[in-house]
């Protein structure tokens, strides 16, 4: 058992050395982001305490602390990144428009898109929540970054990742060279390498979908889920159902155990509920880099050419054989 302690910092630097072209700027983005994540971790883990303290005004505090946490996480990431000189522009789920870099700060060559707090409706139940991020190179030539820099197809991402604030807090990211997981050691405030080169099993035994939406699904999705519940399911026994309702937690489990996560389009959400730029693309890059598949029902999520910053996408992602089976049911035209 190697007792080598490899911090995120060391892993990034060693990664840089193995990529001669790396200029170190990109490593700065990850480094600065990890500071913001630690600050969010501190507040997210304290949220329960606040609720207890706030029981007197539970309804008010309870509701506001959620909103506060979404906004707190959003502001924390922006403030940790806006002055670093690495970014040309940012985009976040919490703001309709792109976030320009303030005039007083230098402009960089990267674009950061993020979902600052994912699954926040679960906070008061102490269910895992997360942060999701995605990094692109700017395509505009000079000056502040623009909308066109923030709506690039997912295959243009140079890095993506997520944090799951759970029983332990893990940062999982890829720069296109495999998927690596770091666990936060609160006693030293460092993310330590704990899951190098995560690979998703080619097939799992778990499906993850909100079955409360059954009546809104297409026939294809209904038939696929029924198929998984039958004796002759691909592994000759029905799959288990697991649905946490925090995308990051559901994807993290799917990445480690295999299986499939679905948030299909339905009669309420014709384009699906999840966001392409902040949820679909970053997690699709992670799942594909771990050897899995991520589609919108008919094509790779990473191939979708965005037209709007907040556009939504159906999501089917996980083990490559499970996603292939699913597509046979849900993709009529494939
Ligand atoms: P967010 O908290 O960033 O808005 O994301 C919530 C998303 C995602 O985390 C989860 O997979 C999905 O909402 C759950 O939606 P349902 O409650 O409709 O199942
Ligand atoms: Mn989200
Ligand atoms: Mn969110």
Kindly report the length of the chain. Answer: 334
Tell me the backbone φ, ψ of residue 65, rounded to 5 degrees.
Answer: -60, -35
pLDDT of the residue at 16: 75
Give yes or no for residue 210 CB within 6 A of ligand 1.
Answer: yes
Name the closest-CA residue to atom 15, ligand 1. 245
Give yes or no for residue 48 CB within 6 A of ligand 1.
Answer: no
Rounded Cα distance, 286 and 252, in Å: 10
Q: Which atom of ligand 1 is nearest to the CA of 278?
A: 3
Give yes or no for residue 273 CB within 6 A of ligand 1.
Answer: yes
Give yes or no for residue 288 CB within 6 A of ligand 1.
Answer: no
* Residue 12, both tokens: 């990034």
**What is the pTM (predicted TM-score) of this model?**
0.93
Q: Which atom of ligand 1 is nearest to the CA of 243?
A: 19
Give yes or no for residue 122 CB within 6 A of ligand 1.
Answer: no
Q: Which atom of ligand 1 is nearest to the CA of 122?
A: 2
Which domains are delineated in the chain? Answer: 8-195 (3.30.540.10), 206-332 (3.40.190.80)
* Residue 77, both tokens: 């990431």
Residue 306 near residue 277 (C-beta atoms within 8 A): yes
- pLDDT tens by residue, the chain, 334 residues: 456 789 998 898 888 777 666 566 678 898 999 999 999 999 888 866 665 332 233 332 224 344 578 888 999 999 999 999 999 999 999 999 999 999 999 999 999 999 999 998 888 888 999 999 999 999 999 999 999 999 999 999 999 999 999 889 999 999 999 999 999 999 999 999 999 999 999 999 999 999 999 999 999 999 999 999 987 766 667 899 999 999 999 999 999 999 999 999 999 999 999 999 999 999 999 999 999 999 999 999 999 999 999 999 999 999 999 999 999 999 866 5
Q: How far is the CA of 109 from the centre of ligand 3 (A)?
A: 25
- The label of the residue with tokens 């730029």 reads 277
């Amino acid at each position: 058992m190697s007792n080598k302690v490899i911090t995120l910092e060391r892993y990034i630097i060693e990664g840089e050395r193995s990529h001669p072209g790396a200029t170190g700027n990109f490593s700065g983005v990850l480094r600065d982001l990890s500071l913001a994540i630690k600050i969010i971790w501190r507040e997210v883990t304290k949220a329960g305490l606040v609720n207890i303290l706030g029981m007197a005004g539970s309804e008010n505090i309870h509701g506001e602390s959620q909103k506060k946490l979404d906004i707190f996480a959003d502001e924390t990431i922006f403030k940790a990144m806006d002055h670093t000189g690495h970014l040309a522009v940012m985009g976040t789920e919490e703001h309709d428009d792109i976030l320009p870099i303030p005039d007083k700060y230098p402009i960089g060559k990267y674009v950061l898109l993020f979902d600052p707090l994912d699954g926040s409706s679960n906070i008061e139940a102490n269910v895992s929540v997360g942060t999701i991020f995605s990094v692109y190179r700017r395509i505009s030539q000079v000056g502040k970054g623009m909308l066109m820099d923030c709506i690039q197809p997912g295959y243009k991402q140079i890095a993506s990742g997520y944090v799951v604030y759970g029983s332990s807090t893990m940062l999982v990211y890829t720069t296109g060279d495999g998927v690596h997981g770091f666990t936060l050691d609160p006693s030293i405030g460092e993310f330590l390498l704990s899951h190098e080169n995560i690979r998703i099993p080619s097939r799992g035994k778990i499906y993850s979908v909100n079955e409360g939406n059954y009546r809104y699904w297409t026939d294809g999705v209904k038939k696929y889920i029924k198929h998984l519940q039958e004796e002759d399911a691909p592994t000759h026994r029905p799959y288990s159902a697991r649905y946490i309702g925090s995308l990051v937690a559901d994807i993290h489990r799917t990445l480690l155990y295999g299986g499939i996560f679905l948030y299909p389009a339905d009669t309420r959400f014709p384009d699906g509920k999840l966001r392409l730029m902040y949820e679909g693309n970053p997690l699709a890059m992670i799942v594909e880099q771990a050897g899995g598949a991520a589609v919108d029902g008919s094509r790779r999520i990473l191939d979708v050419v965005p037209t709007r910053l907040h556009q939504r996408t159906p999501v089917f992602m996980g083990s490559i054989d499970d996603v292939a089976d699913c597509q046979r049911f849900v993709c009529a035209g494939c």
